[in-house]
Amino acid sequence: MSDESDLDLAHRLADLAGEIAMGHVAAGVGEVRTKSDGSPVTPADRRIERELRELVARERPRDAFTGEEFGSRGHNPRRWIIDAIDGTRSFLSGEPEWGTLIALAQEDRVRLGLVRAPALARRWWAVPGGGAWTVADRGAVGRSESPRRLSVTATGRLDRASVGIWPPPRRIADHIRPAAAELAAVAGRAIPALDWTGRDSATPTPPKPSTGSGTCHGGLLVATGRLDAFLLVGAGPWDIAALVPIVREAGGAFSDLAGRDRYDTGAALFSNARVHDEALGALRTG
């Protein structure tokens, strides 16, 4: 399949997900359940993933599929990796910073990434070598405005960089928290501004770095030039994979905390390419 054909399918998957999600917003989200990791899941999460699985099975019957709610299907080197609703807590609270994350990987390399945030009326996408793009999302893609190319910041030093970190300290595993605290300590500014050592456990949960930004994921803050770096920990591959080509095609860098090109190790560092190695060094020191 060509990148154009796969990208067209990704846009159609995103359209379907948005239609379902906004229908649930209008009708009420329904019964909310708590998963084993303490995160909420709604009927919209489950319905979106089921219907996207069905669409991929019809259009790409040989492709494998991995989703947050129902796990993995198939063993083909081509694998769709989807988070039906990234930011379910925002979805439930009526905040607009939630969206559907869609990635296509081949031989563990992400070949396509697309994010659609229906409540923000915007989408972002990239394929390797094609640039990273965004467009206002009112109706079919590209009809309301011309897509705009994304670009990361040019900040060259970590002590002058704005760095987002998520989740807050009390939700970060003990063995990772010192690394997050070290990154926050050496960055010019850490967002949110917290005691990242976790000693202040009584601090109320702060808003995500993306709250009020017009994006639904911290990695998009890097790709759109609003943050110099973003550290995400305790994440699944569906939280990370779609952002990899978007950040890289915007001129940025991605790795796990060991510096590897892996989206399945539970943590991700997105940054402009100039501060990436320094940020990794801080994480390793921690």
How confident is the prediction for the chain on average, in pLDDT? 91
Q: Phi and psi of 103, rounded to 5°?
A: -130, 150
> Residue 173 CB: number of other CB atoms within 10 A?
11
User: Is 43 found in the same domain as 8?
Assistant: yes
| pLDDT given at position 144 | 60
Model confidence over 239-256: pLDDT tens digits? Answer: 999 999 999 999 999 999
User: Is 142 found in the same domain as 168?
Assistant: no
| pLDDT given at position 140 | 46
User: Is 216 found in the same domain as 88?
Assistant: no
The rounded distance, in Å, linking the Cα atoms of 77 and 11 is 21
User: Is 194 found in the same domain as 109?
Assistant: no
**Domain carrying residue 193:** 158-285
User: Is 186 found in the same domain as 66?
Assistant: no
CATH number for the domain that contains residue 194: 3.40.190.80
| pLDDT given at position 26 | 65
| pLDDT given at position 88 | 83
Model confidence over 143-161: pLDDT tens digits? Answer: 567 899 999 999 999 999 9
Single out the residue in 149, 176, 203 at which a domain terminates: 149
User: Is 188 found in the same domain as 62?
Assistant: no
Q: Return the percentage of the chain with pLDDT > 70, whole number.
A: 91
User: Is 223 found in the same domain as 272?
Assistant: yes
- Better-scored residue on pLDDT, 171 or 115: 115
Q: Return the percentage of the chain with pLDDT > 90, whole number.
A: 74
User: Is 170 found in the same domain as 214?
Assistant: yes
- Better-scored residue on pLDDT, 40 or 29: 40
Single out the residue in 149, 171, 197 at which a domain terminates: 149
User: Is 239 found in the same domain as 138?
Assistant: no
User: Is 201 found in the same domain as 125?
Assistant: no
User: Is 122 found in the same domain as 18?
Assistant: yes
Residue 269 above 80 pLDDT?
Answer: yes
User: Is 145 found in the same domain as 9?
Assistant: yes
**Range of weakest confidence among 41-45, 170-174, 181-185:** 41-45
Banded model confidence at residue 30, pLDDT cuts 50, 70, 90: low
| pLDDT given at position 142 | 45
Q: Which of 25-34, 37-46, 189-198, 216-225 has the highest mean pLDDT?
A: 216-225
Banded model confidence at residue 3, pLDDT cuts 50, 70, 90: confident
Banded model confidence at residue 206, pLDDT cuts 50, 70, 90: confident
Residue 139 above 70 pLDDT?
Answer: no
User: Would you call 16 exposed, middle or buried from its count of C-beta atoms within 10 A (0-12, 13-18, 19+)?
Assistant: middle
Model confidence over 224-236: pLDDT tens digits? Answer: 999 999 999 999 9
The DSSP line for the chain is --HHHHHHHHHHHHHHHHHHHHHHHHH-----EE-TTS-EE-HHHHHHHHHHHHHHHHH-TT-EEEETTTEEE---SEEEEEEEEE-HHHHHHT-S--EEEEEEEETTEEEEEEEEEGGGTEEEEE-TTS-EEEEE-SSSTTSSS--EE--------GGG-EEEEES-GGGS-TTTHHHHHHHHHHSSEEES---TTS--TTSPPPPPTTTTTT-SSHHHHHHTTS-SEEEEES--HHHHTTHHHHHHHTTEEEE-TTS-S-SSSSEEEEEETTTHHHHHHHHHH-
Q: How many domains does the chain have?
A: 2
Q: Which of 30, 80, 77, 31 is nearest to 54 (CA)?
A: 80
CATH number for the domain that contains residue 52: 3.30.540.10
Instruction: Name, in order, each residue with C-beta under 8 angstroms of 265's C-beta and a sequence gap of 6 or more.
Output: 256, 257, 258
| pLDDT given at position 35 | 65
Q: Which of 12-26, 28-42, 109-123 has the highest mean pLDDT?
A: 109-123
Single out the residue in 95, 116, 149 at which a domain terminates: 149
